[in-house]
């Protein structure tokens, strides 16, 4: 089977170079690599053939958006490609990860539509009270198992898998899927800019008709940098509400339960702002509140 990698990038030349080197060092290298660059400065000089990699560069001139950049990369796929991997620029595959992923696909039954590499460096630092007390699953607000989507539209993270695990959604940061599915499914351009929840929307739609699996032995490391001081937490707060409600309505889930979950999330964020004197949490909460108000106008 032949596989292509598509990577959206923006002003991160050093992580991108490390990612490309990890692809070149694979025990079984990709058949095509496509980089879609929306940066203020071009990274064309970083996208050079290494160890026989078939490299392609696309300069994205629209508004930066991982969703739109991934969709644009699909137009450069070679005809003979069987599998497509969406892979972020701040990650590195373990040296045999692609070989193990392709071994999985060689024997995968036809009802499996997509699979994810397994994040070896994953750490869950969240402290969702409703999850820990089990209240969310009983109220249909939060899934009781990893990698699931509740009737409220809230999803649970799936973390690092110790064995192959079926999920209802997968992150798009290390996602492999059958190419023929892309005739039906594309990333929704509604999720622009930071693209919050674009992967949930994309893969949950696929899961309605095809199985999604994490491949435990195919591992990668994710060195996600912390959000910088210029990150706009107020805009993110608005996006949290707007994108979650869009996802719920689009897929016919429960809007009242979604609002209930969003209100709980707002209360938790306000708690962080008040008890930890966290300015970013206060800005995030204000963004939530502004979007709630906008929806009522």
The residue with greater pLDDT, 264 or 136, is 264
Q: b/e string for 66-86 if b means 16 or more Cβ within 10 A? A: bbbbbbbbbeebeeebebbbb
User: Which pair of tokens denotes residue 6?
Assistant: 């598509």
Return the pLDDT at 249.
97
Tens digit of each residue's pLDDT (9 = 90 or more) over 15-41? 999 999 999 999 999 999 999 999 999
Range of the domain at 177: 3-122+159-222
Q: Are residues 63 and 117 in the same domain?
A: yes
pTM across the whole model = 0.92
In the chain, the number of structural domains is: 2
On whether both 167 and 235 belong to a single domain, the answer is no
How far are the Cα atoms of 23, 244, 296 from residue 87, in angstroms, in the given order? 11, 23, 38
Domain end, chosen from 194, 222, 250, is at: 222
Residue 192 shares a structural domain with residue 233: no
Final residue in a domain of this structure, among 196, 222, 248: 222
CATH number at residue 163: 3.90.550.10
Same-domain pairing of 88 and 103 = yes
Looking at 174, 199, 222, which one is the last position of a domain?
222
- Average pLDDT score over residue span 150-175: 95
Which tokens in the block code for residue 64? 């930066």
Which pLDDT score, from 0 to 100, does residue 136 have? Answer: 63
Mean pLDDT of 52-58: 92
pLDDT, mean of residues 76-95: 97
User: Within this chain, do residues 91 and 141 fall inside the same structural domain, yes or no?
Assistant: no
Are residues 141 and 43 part of one domain?
Answer: no
The pLDDT assigned to 297 comes to 45
Verify that 199 and 210 share a domain, yes or no.
yes
Residues 151 and 171 in one domain: no
Give the bridge partners for 86, in sequence order.
Answer: 6, 175
Taking CA atoms, 286 is separated from 121, 145, 195, 198, in Å, by 32, 31, 20, 23
The confidence band for 78, taking pLDDT boundaries of 50, 70 and 90, is very high
Task: Verify that 59 and 84 share a domain, yes or no.
Answer: yes
Question: What pLDDT is stored for residue 29 in this prediction?
Answer: 95
What is the residue-averaged pLDDT of the chain? 91
What is the arithmetic mean of pLDDT over 205-210?
98
Q: Are strands 174-178 and 112-119 parallel, antiparallel or unpaired?
A: antiparallel
Q: Which residue has the higher pLDDT, 229 or 61?
A: 61
Distance in angstroms between the alpha carbons of the first and the last residue of the chain: 53
Same domain, 172 and 294: no
Q: Are residues 210 and 106 in the same domain?
A: yes
Q: How confident is the model over 255-272, as pLDDT tens digits?
A: 999 999 999 989 989 998
Query: What SS3 class is residue 30?
Result: coil
Do both 235 and 109 map to the same domain?
no
Instruction: Give the lowest-confidence range in 17-26, 107-116, 188-197.
Output: 188-197
């Amino acid at each position: 089977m032949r596989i292509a990698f598509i990577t959206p990038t923006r002003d991160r030349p050093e992580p991108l170079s490390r990612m490309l080197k990890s692809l070149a060092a694979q025990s079984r290298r990709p058949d095509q690599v496509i980089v879609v660059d929306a940066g203020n400065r071009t990274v064309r000089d970083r996208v050079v053939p290494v160890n026989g990699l078939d490299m392609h560069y696309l300069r994205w001139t629209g508004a930066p958006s991982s969703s739109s950049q991934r969709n644009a990369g699909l137009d450069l796929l070679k005809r003979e490609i069987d599998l497509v991997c969406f892979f972020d620029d701040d990650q590195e595959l373990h040296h045999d990860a692609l070989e193990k992923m392709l071994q999985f696909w060689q024997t995968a039954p036809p009802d499996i539509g997509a699979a994810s590499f397994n994040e070896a460096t994953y750490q869950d630092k969240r402290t969702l009270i409703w999850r820990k007390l089990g209240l969310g699953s009983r109220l249909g607000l939060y899934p009781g198992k990893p990698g699931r989507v509740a009737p409220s539209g809230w999803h649970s993270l799936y973390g690092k898998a110790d064995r192959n695990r079926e999920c209802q959604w997968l992150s798009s940061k290390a996602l492999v899927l059958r190419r023929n599915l892309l005739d039906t499914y594309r990333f929704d351009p509604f999720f622009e800019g930071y693209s919050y929840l674009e992967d949930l929307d994309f893969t949950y739609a696929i899961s309605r008709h095809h199985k999604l699996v994490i491949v435990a032995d195919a591992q990668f490391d994710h060195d996600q940098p912390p959000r910088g001081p210029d990150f706009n937490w107020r805009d993110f707060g608005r996006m949290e509400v707007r994108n979650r409600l869009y996802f719920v309505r689009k897929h016919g889930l429960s809007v009242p339960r979604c609002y209930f979950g969003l209100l709980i999330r707002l209360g938790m964020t306000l708690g962080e702002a008040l008890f930890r004197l966290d300015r970013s949490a206060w800005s995030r909460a204000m963004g939530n509140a502004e979007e709630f108000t906008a929806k009522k106008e």
